[in-house]
């Protein structure tokens, strides 16, 4: 069962609608469906809200530590609430998928994603779930950092929103522990 859903992104207006903020953006759409409002919690270095999904109470977290230090906030929340890595779902952008493609997995490496790298370091484990939201890759010769920190085209934005819409119905089953069934459907 999932007790904490973390959306990865960077704080600040200049990053709000960038590809790298897919995790933040997804949690905002999720919260709009389930109700509640973000509260900044200094001791956790992030915005936190408690909500109920599929009749289960859980926390949603948007770290305010910038992407590369996301593990600081995740680690603090996990320790304070005694949440195990396998009870965490991290929502993040994924370069290896076309824009809007969404897949679920458990464990694995960080694949060069600095937010995941920091979470693994702070939890001392990679045994958490990941909802990977495709943002596509930049054209050959383009700098990856510039690409992820830029706003998607209108067409890619529509694909991202479509991916959010595709993933949201599976959050209830994921939260309630039906991760294998959700994984089988999302990943095909």
* Residues belonging to the active site: 20
β-strands 102-106, 56-63: how paired? unpaired
Residues 126 and 60: their CA atoms lie apart, in Å, by: 19
Q: Where are the alpha helices (DSSP H) in 35-113?
A: 70-81
Could you give the C-alpha distances from 148 to 27, 130, 131, 170, in angstroms and in order? 18, 18, 17, 26
């Amino acid at each position: 069962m999932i007790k904490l859903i973390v959306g990865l992104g960077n704080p600040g207006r200049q990053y709000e609608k960038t590809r790298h903020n897919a995790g933040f953006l997804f949690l905002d759409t999720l919260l709009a469906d389930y109700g509640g409002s973000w509260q900044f919690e200094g001791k956790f270095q992030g915005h936190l809200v408690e909500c109920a999904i599929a009749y289960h109470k859980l926390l949603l977290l948007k770290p305010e530590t910038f992407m590369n230090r996301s593990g600081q906030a995740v680690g603090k929340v996990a320790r304070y609430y005694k949440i195990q890595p396998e009870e965490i779902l991290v929502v993040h952008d994924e370069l290896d998928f076309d824009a809007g493609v969404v897949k679920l997995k458990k464990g694995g490496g960080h694949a060069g994603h600095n937010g995941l790298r920091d979470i693994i370091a702070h939890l001392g484990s990679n045994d958490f779930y990941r909802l990977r939201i495709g943002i596509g890759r930049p054209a050959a010769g383009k700098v990856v950092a510039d690409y992820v920190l830029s706003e998607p085209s209108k067409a890619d934005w529509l694909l991202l929103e479509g991916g959010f819409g595709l993933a949201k119905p599976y959050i209830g089953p994921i939260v309630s522990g039906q991760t294998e069934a959700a994984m089988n459907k999302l990943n095909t």
